[in-house]
Chains A and B, each alone.
Chain A
Amino acid sequence: NAGVTQTPKFQVLKTGQSMTLQCAQDMNHNSMYWYRQDPGMGLRLIYYSASEGTTDKGEVPNGYNVSRLNKREFSLRLESAAPSQTSVYFCASSEFWTGLGAFFGQGTRLTVV
């Protein structure tokens, strides 16, 4: 079982460059999330998608856009990367009625220089 798959695992960007972080889940979950985690800090919610076709802002949405492409895929785009966006990004999915909680990917380590 793959669970939640994030690509790429590592990325270095120059300031001003753009990129898209990809996330896919194979558990048929309705809800998907993007978080960032700065060194020594907890996770902060960037955007989430309660179901296919809907997206909502989280705690720190500025500088990011998202697309819920279909039920499986939820991408995060940085249009003009800034050094303050250097972080580890985690994607997650959930279907809470199952009682299993949310499943997280292994993370994308992004450095903006």
Chain B
Amino acid sequence: DAKTTQPNSMESNEEEPVHLPCNHSTISGTDYIHWYRQLPSQGPEYVIHGLTSNVNNRMASLAIAEDRKSSTLILHRATLRDAAVYYCILRDERYGGATNKLIFGTGTLLAVQP
């Protein structure tokens, strides 16, 4: 499985944008980039995913480098409820995703200051 590298921790101020980086230099052509987050004492929740193009949804935006070796999760206005561990995961979708597993790394602990 291709690996991802994320900073252990980051800090942000409330109401400001947050850019969470992820490096994945060994990404293959069929790997999708997935982001999940885990709030304290909860199970992970899906945030966003993409292949090549930038993606937006109600929670966040995903910016993918042209060579796909890195990506950035963007929270446009951080709130205190966004304090969580954010995981960047690569998932091979060659077989429609049916046989491929989600392998979590250690993620980035985001602290949001009021």
Interface residues, chain A, with chain B CB atoms under 8 Å away: 4, 30-31, 33, 35, 41-45, 48, 50-51, 56, 58-59, 90, 92, 94, 96-97, 99-107
Instruction: Please choose the segment from B12-20, B70-78, B92-100 that sits at the chain A interface, where 4 or more of its residues have CB less than 8 A away.
Output: B92-100
Residue in B42, B87, B105 whose Cβ sees the most chain A Cβ within 10 Å: B42
A58–B49 CA distance with the chains assembled, in angstroms: 22
B101 CB contacts on chain A under 8 angstroms: 33, 45, 48, 56, 58
A57 nearest CB neighbor, chain B only: B101
The reply to whether A101 and B107 contact each other, CB–CB distance below 8 Å, is no
Interface residues, chain B, with chain A CB atoms under 8 Å away: 34, 36, 42-47, 49, 85, 87, 91, 93, 96-107
Residue in B45, B101, B105, B107 whose Cβ sees the most chain A Cβ within 10 Å: B101
B46 nearest CB neighbor, chain A only: A101
A41–B104 CA distance with the chains assembled, in angstroms: 10
CB < 8 Å neighbour of B98 from A35, A50, A101: A50
The reply to whether A43 and B104 contact each other, CB–CB distance below 8 Å, is yes
A94–B36 CA distance with the chains assembled, in angstroms: 13
The reply to whether B43 and A42 contact each other, CB–CB distance below 8 Å, is no
Whether A102 touches B103, Cβ cut-off 8 Å, given contacts A94-B97, A96-B93, is no
A90 nearest CB neighbor, chain B only: B43
A97–B102 CA distance with the chains assembled, in angstroms: 15
A30 CB contacts on chain B under 8 angstroms: 98
Closest chain-A Cβ to B12's Cβ sits at a distance in Å of: 21
The reply to whether A35 and B36 contact each other, CB–CB distance below 8 Å, is no
The reply to whether A51 and B104 contact each other, CB–CB distance below 8 Å, is no
Known interface pairs A56-B101, A101-B34; 7 further A-B residue pairs with C-beta atoms within 8 A, sorted by A's residue number: A31-B97, A42-B85, A48-B101, A50-B99, A99-B49, A102-B46, A105-B43
